[in-house]
Structure 1
């Protein structure tokens, strides 16, 4: 038994502690009682905490990294805890706070959260860290904490891992249960982004005592540090901190992300100058520092506690009453017994996105959620969604429109996003570029900029706080629109993945066009759904054409995360029935030990279109590949359009590859001239944006004050026109694609009401080409189409097209049945003469699908068989990488051949010019006036040129110090807009875009 004085920052306590048998037994709390003594500074000599004692010399930040004056370790722990208190008060969603309260117990959630965040750097109280700064080491040695300089210089031991082992020992010593210790120590050991195993966290055995602190002096200093920090936060003793429960593994990962967030903010020397005198260290000054930093950084959360939307909410948000399917989705969201997964399946143009946003508002108000993440299939589809989400958020609460972030690698091309940032005052472009232009791989983990120290001169931001726009932090913004990749990244075993998962905590997650995820991407999607299910984050999935098994797999993954792992292995899925109508909504949730579900359907807001199906057989073998000859297929399409558009009309021609689209465009333009437009992925960023905007303006929804619909227009496009592309064609001509994608393409025809159409195209019609059917044998497909989609699905879709030729498909009513026929392998759909070919194709397809799924496993956040582990220890064991660039992240979550983007510039006798023609500096220097022109020349190369581009292309000399251009590879064109790259000749054509000729001989 002992009586000792424990000193907090402004209060002295007398603690009576009972030590049975000189140490605490595992899983048993110590009996401690504390009595408050009169207030005094933290410098009593009895506890070894004088200015010359351990707490007065243990440093957390060197003078170099703390604004010219060292920061004591205790001060940094308190600073971080104070920031964590603000995160709790002004950022965390109510749902997250309630979950943390449940784990902590006794109303200690906020206090416990601050303690967990603050204790992260306790591993710095070791010789392994304290010797790293000469000035700081001298003070520590002078206070009687010794080490062998030869040993500590030879061996290294990271302070995050040291902290993990240190808290394991210290917490066990005071009686924390093994269960509580085991989930907490990985959060400390992993706060630099990677969770080690217990073995990986151990110090080198040959230097164990020297690195961790040999002798009673070090152990006493470590105990005093922990006690003083704990007392400052209001706990009576360290033993009293132990939570009553263990948070779920998903919540542990989210807490870890908030630990990193608090640490990064408190490590900013612009806001947290060093404090090297113990008498000035206390929690009150730390809170003052944190409050000032928080205000200057402009950090804030979302809408907090959101009121239940009234009956008129939909009209107030979107300007009209909900359609039946939209009302159905909102009704289901209001009737769920717990946060869960909602799958919305509805036709193209039905208004699924508005339904999802309305449902998100319902879910947020019911369960205390604080924001949304909307994930789109491509960067191009993100931009219009960003505008829509800003309008929706503004309709709910005008001040929150500024909190919507656009999150994809080419957001600097979005004019609205750029304008929002420019409104932040002089130099805002440069400040933003410095922290956000490569949001996945900046060297500076904090992304701090000196100009942020004086925000008083800056106007109110119209975009989220600059801090949120730094490396790896985008999902922490209250409202986010980005590619689905952002969610997939959160399911990868990469460094700082906890920041991404923390960014999804307390949000409603909406994912559009989920059918577009192939089997490889689906592994990451399922992994993300498991973690979100466990975290009780509601998810809304949207699709027009979702195969039955894909829907079941997504539901099973979410429910498995919610604790129902048997669903994943179940051969029958009777637990959740399939919808029997279309549009439909399927909702599932976990209510304690049971699974709840609601499955509803209704009629579409508009009558079914009777789409005539026409077959235009195309001879595949023996067609020329060079663009100076008219192929038989293009000649057929030209003849067809000449006939059907004789009296006018607007046609959409979709080709499966860029070269094929370019050839068709040239063939049609020779006759129809400027009435033909071309849209594909190898246009420069500027040209693609301009043409997309033009097509949407001319063929989009009729507007009272908009331009008149063209009397005749032909748009030739690739798969860009397949989804989230709101154009209305009178006639669709399309290459064959798998049934779900074919139906997506059909959704671009006769899409809008009130459009006057010429008589020849007054009836909805799809003309399917791009393959050659045969009477007594399987059809012929182009090699490129088979490479993209696989022969198996093309065979089954071709069979359904051939059977329907001359007939009609009822769209959207027949969509579920058509998709089911194409994807249900047990249904016989091909003619008997194709059966053997289909069998071989199916075997090849299944083998490839398995291989692609298995190739994702090394990168998934959780290894096979480890989803039920209780803690985060070893989560990053064998991970795929630490700091990955966005292109590398994309390569992780999207398989297939890698491709990269380059910036096209011209060079002539006058020097360098942007693709637009504007002059650059002698070494390519780009001023602010021409930056948009330079970036507008960005184009994605075909995958076959990736290696040559990586080997041969670098930034221009004048770009090397530019915040946005220093990572860009320049492809320099000559005066004829031609360049050589490896064995290929490339030229950029004003109409065709990037044309690849070769390989050259």
Structure 2
């Protein structure tokens, strides 16, 4: 299915560096995101999460829906309100260059447009998809992918802020190009996802929607990252020169290069905790106490584990109990991650060393490298954390005695901030 020059002229990102004008065509970003979300679903999402999704969707339906969400996530950028936004650094020459490109491809009267700032692109995408007949639950995932789900029916946006979507409130000639590209991109995305008609798109329940929302947010973070981190400037999904078009980009090679650069760690494969012997003795060199023994055995016998709450005095070994429980629960529910939350930076720093030692043991047993992240504002002042190897140079070897003992645990610099 060919894409028109009008749709190809839309931008998703733009910036200037030392006088060089760069942009990312919208279609490039949409295909990037579709490639990324499909890969994450098949290779990064935990098996237990995939099983939860498949409670209401067949494997084939899930594959199609995930691709659809990836492609459609930024459909709201195919609107007048977004395409006329100025560059963040105030480069008016870049703005004019991309506006002239739109004019050349059939969008007229752009210089005198004044629009209300009431239609952020995530909300706009949800409104457009609802108007095309996409199930409300699926549109809501698009609308919430920047963390702010709509608090009212998004489709009303099309009536209240019509010009934000189609440049004019009433002029049909000005509206037509915007309506055309939105419909064209929608059908293009349908086809790439494996759908023939909008009626084939399934709805989902809230538990499935939550997982899909998180997966889409993860996808957009990754597909929107130009570089792995600020230090190495290793390219992930870079912008291109404004003289280049999306047809000049090898989309397959671009995606493969980005995933190879980003995927620097192995995946934890949880194993069953053996209760025939003392798991605490094997991990920490001390004998389990009665509370630890009872809880470990209880988890090992449960068929459908949920939340486990342990309330006990200090010094009873709740931390070690929690880590053993994590191994058991991860194995039973087929999950592959742990979040450890504490109330202060001081308690977090103290706990970080203990969790890191535990994770290193897991990594050594698995014979692979696993990742860890200290998530508070002064993490870089933590000596242990600062000396952990980074994903960008993890294969270069370390001679420093401080790092040799934690070689199997590393930090992926891309996972910063909210990520």
Q: 2:296 aligns with which of 321, 326, 330?
A: 330
Alignment correspondent of 1:416: 384
Task: Tell me, yes or no, if structure 1 residue 318 matches structure 2 residue 271.
Answer: no
Alignment correspondent of 1:903: none
Alignment correspondent of 1:225: 185
Q: 2:98 aligns with which of 131, 136, 147?
A: 136
CA apart distance, 1:158: 2.2
Whether the 8 Å CA contact 1:144–1:217 is kept in 2: the answer is yes
Alignment correspondent of 2:201: 242
Cα distance in 1 between the residues matched to 2:362 and 2:80: 54
Whether the 8 Å CA contact 1:120–1:191 is kept in 2: the answer is yes
Task: Tell me, yes or no, if structure 1 residue 192 matches structure 2 residue 146.
Answer: yes
CA apart distance, 1:141: 2.3
> What secondary structure sits across from 2:361 in the alignment?
helix
Whether the 8 Å CA contact 2:30–2:71 is kept in 1: the answer is yes
Whether the 8 Å CA contact 1:128–1:211 is kept in 2: the answer is yes
Alignment correspondent of 2:129: 167
Q: 1:265 aligns with which of 211, 214, 222?
A: 222
Distance 1:292 1:107, change over 3 A: same
> What secondary structure sits across from 2:33 in the alignment?
helix
Q: Give TM-score scaled by structure 1 length.
A: 0.35
Alignment correspondent of 1:472: 418
Whether the 8 Å CA contact 2:281–2:287 is kept in 1: the answer is yes
Cα distance in 2 between the residues matched to 1:414 and 1:259: 32
> What secondary structure sits across from 1:70 in the alignment?
strand
Mark the structure with the bigger radius of gyration. 1
Cα distance in 1 between the residues matched to 2:397 and 2:157: 50
Cα-to-partner distance string for 1:139-170 (whole Å, 9 max, x where unaligned): 22222234554334566632222111111112
Q: 2:254 aligns with which of 265, 289, 292?
A: 289
Alignment correspondent of 1:58: 10
Distance 1:295 1:192, change over 3 A: same
Whether the 8 Å CA contact 1:183–1:246 is kept in 2: the answer is yes
Whether the 8 Å CA contact 2:127–2:158 is kept in 1: the answer is no
Cα distance in 2 between the residues matched to 1:228 and 1:334: 49
> What secondary structure sits across from 1:340 in the alignment?
coil
Cα distance in 2 between the residues matched to 1:286 and 1:143: 23
Pairwise CA RMSD of aligned residues? 3.2
> What secondary structure sits across from 1:64 in the alignment?
strand
Alignment correspondent of 2:230: none
CA apart distance, 1:329: 0.6
Alignment correspondent of 2:55: 102
Cα distance in 2 between the residues matched to 1:155 and 1:350: 56
Give the number of aligned pairs: 378
Cα distance in 2 between the residues matched to 1:61 and 1:158: 15
Distance 1:252 1:167, change over 3 A: same
Whether the 8 Å CA contact 2:266–2:370 is kept in 1: the answer is no
Distance 1:100 1:365, change over 3 A: same
Cα-to-partner distance string for 1:465-513 (whole Å, 9 max, x where unaligned): 1011x2222xxxxxxxxxxxxxxxxxxxxxxxxxxxxxxxxxxxxxxxx
Structure with the higher helix share, 1 or 2: 2
Whether the 8 Å CA contact 1:124–1:163 is kept in 2: the answer is yes
Alignment correspondent of 1:151: 113
Higher relative contact order, chain-length normalized (CA < 8 Å, sep 6+): 2
CA apart distance, 1:225: 0.8
CA apart distance, 1:456: 9.6
CA apart distance, 1:271: 2.4
Task: Tell me, yes or no, if structure 1 residue 307 matches structure 2 residue 253.
Answer: no
1:739-754 aligned at under 5 Å gives the runs none
Cα distance in 2 between the residues matched to 1:259 and 1:77: 12
Task: Tell me, yes or no, if structure 1 residue 116 matches structure 2 residue 81.
Answer: no
Alignment correspondent of 2:349: 383
Structure with the higher strand share, 1 or 2: 1
Distance 1:287 1:262, change over 3 A: farther
Cα-to-partner distance string for 1:530-572 (whole Å, 9 max, x where unaligned): xxxxxxxxxxxxxxxxxxxxxxxxxxxxxxxxxxxxxxxxxxx
Cα distance in 1 between the residues matched to 2:313 and 2:290: 13
Distance 1:315 1:210, change over 3 A: closer
Cα distance in 2 between the residues matched to 1:315 and 1:75: 54
CA apart distance, 1:206: 6.8
1:484-883 aligned at under 5 Å gives the runs none
Q: Give TM-score scaled by structure 2 length.
A: 0.78
Alignment correspondent of 1:713: none
Cα-to-partner distance string for 1:330-386 (whole Å, 9 max, x where unaligned): 111122232312122334332222222112111111110111122234332223322
Task: Tell me, yes or no, if structure 1 residue 84 matches structure 2 residue 44.
Answer: no
Cα-to-partner distance string for 1:50-89 (whole Å, 9 max, x where unaligned): 4xx2232122223639x84432211110101212123223
Cα distance in 2 between the residues matched to 1:195 and 1:354: 38
Whether the 8 Å CA contact 2:33–2:70 is kept in 1: the answer is yes
Whether the 8 Å CA contact 1:152–1:207 is kept in 2: the answer is no
Cα distance in 1 between the residues matched to 2:38 and 2:376: 31
Cα distance in 2 between the residues matched to 1:387 and 1:206: 54
> What secondary structure sits across from 1:61 in the alignment?
strand
Q: 1:208 aligns with which of 139, 162, 181?
A: 162
